Structure 1
Amino acid sequence: MTAPATKHAKQAGSFLVIGGVAFLVDALTYNALVFWVTGHGPMFAQPIWAKIIAIVLASVVTYVGNRYWTFSDRHLPHKWSRYVAFVACNLIAIGLQLGCLAFSRYVLGLDSVLADNISGTFIGQALATVFRYLTYDRFVFREDAPAPAR
Protein backbone atom coordinates (compact mmCIF):
# COMPACT_ATOMS: atom_id res chain seq x y z
CA MET A 1 0.00 0.00 0.00
CA THR A 2 1.12 3.52 -0.65
CA ALA A 3 1.71 5.93 2.22
CA PRO A 4 -1.55 7.91 1.69
CA ALA A 5 -3.53 4.67 1.41
CA THR A 6 -1.96 3.32 4.60
CA LYS A 7 -2.71 6.57 6.41
CA HIS A 8 -6.31 6.52 5.20
CA ALA A 9 -6.73 2.85 6.24
CA LYS A 10 -5.34 3.59 9.72
CA GLN A 11 -7.59 6.62 10.04
CA ALA A 12 -10.69 4.70 8.92
CA GLY A 13 -9.83 1.80 11.22
CA SER A 14 -9.37 3.95 14.31
CA PHE A 15 -12.55 5.88 13.43
CA LEU A 16 -14.46 2.57 13.33
CA VAL A 17 -12.99 1.37 16.63
CA ILE A 18 -13.98 4.61 18.33
CA GLY A 19 -17.38 4.36 16.66
CA GLY A 20 -17.73 0.85 18.08
CA VAL A 21 -17.03 2.09 21.59
CA ALA A 22 -19.48 4.97 21.08
CA PHE A 23 -22.03 2.46 19.73
CA LEU A 24 -21.77 0.49 22.97
CA VAL A 25 -22.12 3.64 25.08
CA ASP A 26 -25.17 4.68 23.04
CA ALA A 27 -26.83 1.24 23.10
CA LEU A 28 -26.18 0.52 26.78
CA THR A 29 -27.31 3.97 27.92
CA TYR A 30 -30.45 3.94 25.79
CA ASN A 31 -31.47 0.42 26.78
CA ALA A 32 -30.84 1.12 30.46
CA LEU A 33 -32.98 4.27 30.33
CA VAL A 34 -35.84 2.86 28.25
CA PHE A 35 -35.99 -0.86 28.96
CA TRP A 36 -33.88 -1.51 32.06
CA VAL A 37 -34.24 -5.06 33.37
CA THR A 38 -38.01 -5.15 33.69
CA GLY A 39 -38.80 -4.08 30.12
CA HIS A 40 -39.97 -0.61 31.16
CA GLY A 41 -37.16 1.63 32.29
CA PRO A 42 -37.51 5.09 33.80
CA MET A 43 -37.74 6.73 30.36
CA PHE A 44 -39.86 4.14 28.49
CA ALA A 45 -42.44 6.81 27.65
CA GLN A 46 -39.73 9.29 26.53
CA PRO A 47 -37.59 7.30 24.07
CA ILE A 48 -36.53 10.37 22.10
CA TRP A 49 -35.15 12.09 25.22
CA ALA A 50 -33.45 8.86 26.28
CA LYS A 51 -31.83 8.62 22.85
CA ILE A 52 -30.66 12.23 23.04
CA ILE A 53 -28.97 11.51 26.40
CA ALA A 54 -27.37 8.34 24.99
CA ILE A 55 -26.13 10.11 21.85
CA VAL A 56 -24.68 13.05 23.80
CA LEU A 57 -22.66 10.66 25.99
CA ALA A 58 -21.50 8.73 22.92
CA SER A 59 -20.60 12.01 21.18
CA VAL A 60 -18.22 12.90 24.00
CA VAL A 61 -16.53 9.54 23.47
CA THR A 62 -16.25 10.16 19.71
CA TYR A 63 -14.83 13.64 20.11
CA VAL A 64 -12.12 12.62 22.58
CA GLY A 65 -11.28 9.43 20.69
CA ASN A 66 -11.15 11.01 17.26
CA ARG A 67 -9.30 14.10 18.42
CA TYR A 68 -6.59 12.20 20.26
CA TRP A 69 -6.36 9.00 18.21
CA THR A 70 -7.90 9.11 14.71
CA PHE A 71 -6.69 12.62 13.91
CA SER A 72 -3.77 12.77 16.36
CA ASP A 73 -1.26 13.37 13.58
CA ARG A 74 -2.88 16.65 12.58
CA HIS A 75 -1.93 20.08 13.78
CA LEU A 76 -5.20 21.10 15.45
CA PRO A 77 -4.93 24.31 17.45
CA HIS A 78 -7.79 25.01 19.84
CA LYS A 79 -10.40 27.06 18.03
CA TRP A 80 -14.00 27.77 18.90
CA SER A 81 -14.93 27.20 15.25
CA ARG A 82 -13.80 23.57 15.57
CA TYR A 83 -16.16 23.03 18.52
CA VAL A 84 -19.01 24.78 16.69
CA ALA A 85 -18.43 22.54 13.66
CA PHE A 86 -18.41 19.45 15.93
CA VAL A 87 -21.70 20.48 17.55
CA ALA A 88 -23.31 21.33 14.18
CA CYS A 89 -22.24 18.01 12.63
CA ASN A 90 -23.46 16.11 15.68
CA LEU A 91 -26.81 17.89 15.71
CA ILE A 92 -27.39 16.69 12.15
CA ALA A 93 -26.18 13.19 13.07
CA ILE A 94 -28.49 13.18 16.11
CA GLY A 95 -31.34 14.15 13.78
CA LEU A 96 -30.57 11.14 11.59
CA GLN A 97 -30.66 8.77 14.55
CA LEU A 98 -33.74 10.33 16.11
CA GLY A 99 -35.51 10.30 12.75
CA CYS A 100 -35.00 6.55 12.43
CA LEU A 101 -36.19 5.92 16.00
CA ALA A 102 -39.18 8.28 15.69
CA PHE A 103 -40.25 6.69 12.39
CA SER A 104 -40.18 3.24 13.95
CA ARG A 105 -41.92 4.33 17.16
CA TYR A 106 -44.49 6.82 15.93
CA VAL A 107 -45.15 5.91 12.30
CA LEU A 108 -44.78 2.13 12.42
CA GLY A 109 -45.96 1.84 16.05
CA LEU A 110 -43.06 -0.40 17.09
CA ASP A 111 -41.78 -0.06 20.66
CA SER A 112 -40.01 -3.30 21.47
CA VAL A 113 -36.38 -3.64 22.48
CA LEU A 114 -35.61 -5.21 19.10
CA ALA A 115 -37.43 -2.53 17.07
CA ASP A 116 -35.80 0.36 18.95
CA ASN A 117 -32.34 -1.15 18.66
CA ILE A 118 -32.69 -1.90 14.96
CA SER A 119 -34.10 1.53 14.07
CA GLY A 120 -32.42 3.93 16.49
CA THR A 121 -29.23 2.11 17.33
CA PHE A 122 -28.23 0.07 14.27
CA ILE A 123 -29.75 1.87 11.29
CA GLY A 124 -29.69 5.35 12.85
CA GLN A 125 -26.15 5.03 14.12
CA ALA A 126 -24.90 3.56 10.85
CA LEU A 127 -26.26 6.56 8.94
CA ALA A 128 -24.91 8.97 11.55
CA THR A 129 -21.47 7.30 11.52
CA VAL A 130 -21.12 7.64 7.76
CA PHE A 131 -22.19 11.28 8.02
CA ARG A 132 -19.73 11.94 10.87
CA TYR A 133 -16.84 10.31 9.02
CA LEU A 134 -17.41 12.50 5.99
CA THR A 135 -17.86 15.72 7.95
CA TYR A 136 -15.30 15.30 10.74
CA ASP A 137 -12.47 15.00 8.23
CA ARG A 138 -13.59 18.08 6.28
CA PHE A 139 -14.94 20.41 8.95
CA VAL A 140 -14.16 19.35 12.52
CA PHE A 141 -10.63 17.95 12.44
CA ARG A 142 -9.44 19.79 9.32
CA GLU A 143 -5.72 20.23 9.59
CA ASP A 144 -4.49 23.79 9.93
CA ALA A 145 -1.05 24.49 8.58
CA PRO A 146 1.33 25.28 11.44
CA ALA A 147 2.35 28.92 11.70
CA PRO A 148 5.68 29.51 9.98
CA ALA A 149 8.64 29.89 12.33
CA ARG A 150 10.09 33.35 12.60
Structure 2
Amino acid sequence: MVGRRRELAGFAAAGLAAYAADLGLFTYLRGPAGADPLTAKALSFVAGCSVAYAGNALGTYRHTRVRGLRPYALFVAVNLAGAAVQLLCLAVSHYGLGLTSQRADTVSGAGIGMALATLLRFWGTRTLVFGNGRAGRPERSDRNAWPARKGRVERTGGGVGSWTG
Protein backbone atom coordinates (compact mmCIF):
# COMPACT_ATOMS: atom_id res chain seq x y z
CA MET A 1 0.00 0.00 0.00
CA VAL A 2 2.87 2.39 0.76
CA GLY A 3 4.26 1.73 -2.74
CA ARG A 4 0.94 2.73 -4.31
CA ARG A 5 0.80 5.93 -2.27
CA ARG A 6 4.33 6.81 -3.33
CA GLU A 7 3.44 6.07 -6.93
CA LEU A 8 0.38 8.32 -6.73
CA ALA A 9 2.38 11.05 -4.98
CA GLY A 10 5.13 10.86 -7.61
CA PHE A 11 2.59 10.94 -10.45
CA ALA A 12 0.86 13.94 -8.84
CA ALA A 13 4.16 15.78 -8.35
CA ALA A 14 5.14 15.22 -11.99
CA GLY A 15 1.67 16.37 -13.05
CA LEU A 16 1.86 19.54 -10.98
CA ALA A 17 5.28 20.39 -12.42
CA ALA A 18 3.92 19.75 -15.92
CA TYR A 19 0.89 21.94 -15.24
CA ALA A 20 3.16 24.76 -14.05
CA ALA A 21 5.34 24.45 -17.17
CA ASP A 22 2.29 24.37 -19.45
CA LEU A 23 0.63 27.36 -17.80
CA GLY A 24 3.84 29.37 -17.50
CA LEU A 25 4.87 28.86 -21.12
CA PHE A 26 1.34 29.48 -22.40
CA THR A 27 1.14 32.73 -20.42
CA TYR A 28 4.53 33.87 -21.70
CA LEU A 29 3.78 32.96 -25.32
CA ARG A 30 0.37 34.68 -25.26
CA GLY A 31 1.71 37.74 -23.45
CA PRO A 32 5.24 39.03 -24.07
CA ALA A 33 5.97 36.70 -27.01
CA GLY A 34 2.72 37.66 -28.79
CA ALA A 35 1.97 34.17 -30.16
CA ASP A 36 -1.53 33.27 -31.30
CA PRO A 37 -3.55 31.14 -28.85
CA LEU A 38 -3.43 27.83 -30.74
CA THR A 39 0.32 27.99 -31.35
CA ALA A 40 0.90 28.99 -27.73
CA LYS A 41 -1.26 26.13 -26.45
CA ALA A 42 0.31 23.55 -28.77
CA LEU A 43 3.83 24.51 -27.68
CA SER A 44 2.91 24.67 -23.99
CA PHE A 45 1.17 21.27 -24.25
CA VAL A 46 4.34 19.69 -25.68
CA ALA A 47 6.44 21.34 -22.96
CA GLY A 48 4.04 20.12 -20.26
CA CYS A 49 4.09 16.58 -21.67
CA SER A 50 7.88 16.63 -21.73
CA VAL A 51 8.10 17.80 -18.12
CA ALA A 52 5.56 15.16 -17.01
CA TYR A 53 7.35 12.41 -18.92
CA ALA A 54 10.72 13.39 -17.45
CA GLY A 55 9.24 13.56 -13.95
CA ASN A 56 7.68 10.13 -14.28
CA ALA A 57 10.64 8.50 -16.06
CA LEU A 58 13.27 9.92 -13.70
CA GLY A 59 11.15 9.88 -10.55
CA THR A 60 7.96 7.89 -10.16
CA TYR A 61 8.85 5.03 -12.54
CA ARG A 62 12.64 5.33 -12.49
CA HIS A 63 13.03 1.62 -11.82
CA THR A 64 11.38 0.58 -15.07
CA ARG A 65 13.34 -0.04 -18.21
CA VAL A 66 12.08 2.02 -21.10
CA ARG A 67 14.22 2.92 -24.09
CA GLY A 68 13.80 4.98 -27.23
CA LEU A 69 11.10 7.31 -28.46
CA ARG A 70 8.22 4.84 -28.32
CA PRO A 71 7.48 5.36 -24.60
CA TYR A 72 7.49 9.14 -25.05
CA ALA A 73 5.19 8.86 -28.08
CA LEU A 74 2.82 6.66 -26.07
CA PHE A 75 2.95 9.17 -23.22
CA VAL A 76 2.00 12.01 -25.55
CA ALA A 77 -0.82 9.88 -27.00
CA VAL A 78 -2.14 9.13 -23.50
CA ASN A 79 -2.05 12.86 -22.70
CA LEU A 80 -3.86 13.72 -25.94
CA ALA A 81 -6.53 11.17 -25.01
CA GLY A 82 -6.83 12.88 -21.61
CA ALA A 83 -7.28 16.25 -23.31
CA ALA A 84 -9.97 14.72 -25.53
CA VAL A 85 -11.81 13.44 -22.43
CA GLN A 86 -11.82 16.96 -20.97
CA LEU A 87 -13.16 18.43 -24.21
CA LEU A 88 -15.78 15.70 -24.47
CA CYS A 89 -17.04 16.39 -20.94
CA LEU A 90 -17.29 20.09 -21.75
CA ALA A 91 -19.05 19.43 -25.08
CA VAL A 92 -21.60 17.05 -23.54
CA SER A 93 -22.40 19.47 -20.73
CA HIS A 94 -22.48 22.64 -22.82
CA TYR A 95 -24.04 21.44 -26.06
CA GLY A 96 -25.72 18.18 -25.12
CA LEU A 97 -27.23 19.10 -21.75
CA GLY A 98 -27.56 22.82 -22.42
CA LEU A 99 -25.62 23.82 -19.29
CA THR A 100 -24.06 26.97 -20.77
CA SER A 101 -23.05 29.11 -17.79
CA GLN A 102 -19.40 29.80 -17.09
CA ARG A 103 -19.73 27.85 -13.83
CA ALA A 104 -21.17 24.81 -15.62
CA ASP A 105 -18.37 24.94 -18.21
CA THR A 106 -15.77 25.15 -15.44
CA VAL A 107 -17.28 22.25 -13.50
CA SER A 108 -17.61 20.02 -16.55
CA GLY A 109 -14.31 20.86 -18.26
CA ALA A 110 -11.92 21.69 -15.43
CA GLY A 111 -13.64 19.65 -12.72
CA ILE A 112 -15.25 16.45 -13.95
CA GLY A 113 -13.26 16.39 -17.19
CA MET A 114 -9.95 16.93 -15.40
CA ALA A 115 -10.73 14.20 -12.86
CA LEU A 116 -11.62 11.66 -15.55
CA ALA A 117 -8.65 12.71 -17.70
CA THR A 118 -6.30 12.32 -14.72
CA LEU A 119 -7.58 8.78 -14.10
CA LEU A 120 -7.04 7.95 -17.77
CA ARG A 121 -3.56 9.50 -17.73
CA PHE A 122 -2.58 7.62 -14.58
CA TRP A 123 -3.80 4.31 -15.98
CA GLY A 124 -2.17 4.91 -19.37
CA THR A 125 1.13 6.10 -17.92
CA ARG A 126 1.30 3.21 -15.49
CA THR A 127 0.09 0.50 -17.86
CA LEU A 128 1.03 1.48 -21.40
CA VAL A 129 4.13 3.63 -20.95
CA PHE A 130 5.94 2.31 -17.87
CA GLY A 131 4.06 -0.92 -17.24
CA ASN A 132 3.87 -4.31 -18.82
CA GLY A 133 2.95 -3.06 -22.30
CA ARG A 134 5.38 -3.13 -25.23
CA ALA A 135 7.02 0.16 -24.31
CA GLY A 136 8.12 -1.15 -20.93
CA ARG A 137 9.77 -4.29 -22.28
CA PRO A 138 13.47 -4.59 -21.52
CA GLU A 139 16.05 -4.87 -24.23
CA ARG A 140 16.77 -8.37 -25.51
CA SER A 141 19.81 -8.79 -23.26
CA ASP A 142 17.65 -8.12 -20.19
CA ARG A 143 14.84 -10.57 -20.97
CA ASN A 144 15.88 -12.91 -18.14
CA ALA A 145 15.02 -10.14 -15.68
CA TRP A 146 11.32 -10.49 -16.49
CA PRO A 147 9.14 -13.00 -14.68
CA ALA A 148 7.75 -15.93 -16.59
CA ARG A 149 4.14 -15.16 -15.65
CA LYS A 150 2.51 -13.10 -18.39
CA GLY A 151 1.13 -9.69 -17.43
CA ARG A 152 3.40 -9.23 -14.42
CA VAL A 153 6.05 -6.54 -14.19
CA GLU A 154 8.81 -6.65 -11.62
CA ARG A 155 10.39 -3.39 -10.70
CA THR A 156 14.04 -3.40 -9.75
CA GLY A 157 15.28 -1.82 -6.53
CA GLY A 158 13.20 -0.16 -3.86
CA GLY A 159 11.53 3.15 -3.33
CA VAL A 160 8.96 4.86 -5.50
CA GLY A 161 7.66 2.58 -8.22
CA SER A 162 9.05 -0.59 -6.64
CA TRP A 163 5.74 -2.40 -6.63
CA THR A 164 5.13 -5.76 -8.27
CA GLY A 165 1.73 -6.05 -9.84
Q: Deviations over 1:73-125 (max 9, x none)?
A: 22x1415543332232133234446x38x97xxx87x8xxxxxxx69x95566
Q: Distance in 2 between matches of 1:32 and 1:91?
A: 22
CA shift in 2, pair 1:20/1:70, >3 Å: same
TM-score of the pair, normalised by structure 1: 0.65
**Residue of structure 2 in register with 1:87 after alignment:** 76
* 1:42 aligns to 2:46 (yes or no): no
Aligned residues: 131
Could you tell me how far apart the structure 2 residues matched to 1:47 and 1:56 are? 14
Match of 2:9 among 9, 13, 16: 13
3-state secondary structure, aligned to 1:148: helix
CA–CA distance in structure 2, aligned partners of residues 95 and 148 of structure 1: 39
CA contact (8 A) 1:15 1:66 kept: yes
| 1:89-104 alignment runs, 5 A limit | 89-96=78-85, 99=87
TM-score normalised to structure 2 length: 0.60
- Runs (5+) with no aligned partner, structure 1: 111-117
Residue 57 of structure 1 aligns with an amino acid whose one-letter code is A
Identity %: 24
Cα offsets for 1:107-150 (capped at 9, x unmatched): 87x8xxxxxxx69x95566554332111111101115475227x
What is the CA deviation profile of residues 8-31 of structure 1, one whole-angstrom value per residue up to 9, with x for unaligned ones? 100100111111111111111111
Q: Distance in 2 between matches of 1:93 and 1:129?
A: 7
Give the equivalent residue in structure 2 for 1:139: 128
Please say if residues 66 and 137 of structure 2, whose CA atoms lie closer than 8 Å, have aligned partners that are also in contact: yes
CA–CA distance in structure 1, aligned partners of residues 137 and 23 of structure 2: 34
User: Structure 1 residues 42 and 80 mapped into 2: Cα distance closer, same or farther (>3 Å)?
Assistant: closer
Give the SS at the match of 1:132.
Answer: helix
RMSD, aligned CA: 3.7
Cα distance between partner residues in 1 of 2:39 and 2:6: 35
Report the counterpart of residue 55 of structure 1 in structure 2: 45
8 A contact 2:53–2:72 mirrored in 1: no
Q: 1:140 to 1:23 in 2, by over 3 A?
A: same
Q: 1:20 to 1:87 in 2, by over 3 A?
A: closer
